[in-house]
Structure 1
């Protein structure tokens, strides 16, 4: 089976770690990259390895630009963003999606990605909105 073409791909900051974030027609995925850009408590740390995550586009509720202030709320917990992180990645957008929980329950989950460039941030928001509109038209 052929993979759908990639619509967007960028290195974005999520929870003080750099991820390769990719969007195609069906999936929004983010995978931790090995990099020296892990920013914690105002200093840059050595390389790290983190997991890979994906959300079907059909499970995205909305996307919106958000303020890249010093606190973000992901997975129901407030997270402190370092000063250097918010300076290096001053733009942000939040993807709200449904998350499958135990026993056929669903929960809303927000994931906030931070961008170094405002144009890239707007491009992500618009492209995800376009994908959601295309899904609505198919229904």
Structure 2
């Protein structure tokens, strides 16, 4: 599900970028970063699908003294995805604020994304991907409320 949402967000951000003449560069960079985040999440999704296919066997042969190695060496991909998505949200928020499309919401989205990156990396050492979706949801609600 995550890759589908990332891909859809990249397309939507690209459409927004096409309609923001003054801040098109920022919005385009945001769309590009979401696309990179999408690519970073693909190996994680593939590993999870393979893990799901092996789940019954892993449960049947589970030995607490020697747990199976799952999702090994994916930390860098996870963090690359996380930082790309949060940077994209910060850039899109800034683009919308500077273009005076959604100034207040744009700055709130930018600030929330930057704070999330700092909190996730420095304090929590983790960032649940669904938390980024909440920021996207707030942004989407603001965009839907714009007059046509």
Using the size of structure 2 for normalisation, the TM-score is: 0.23
**The structure with more strand, counted as a fraction of residues:** 1
**The structure with more helix, counted as a fraction of residues:** 2
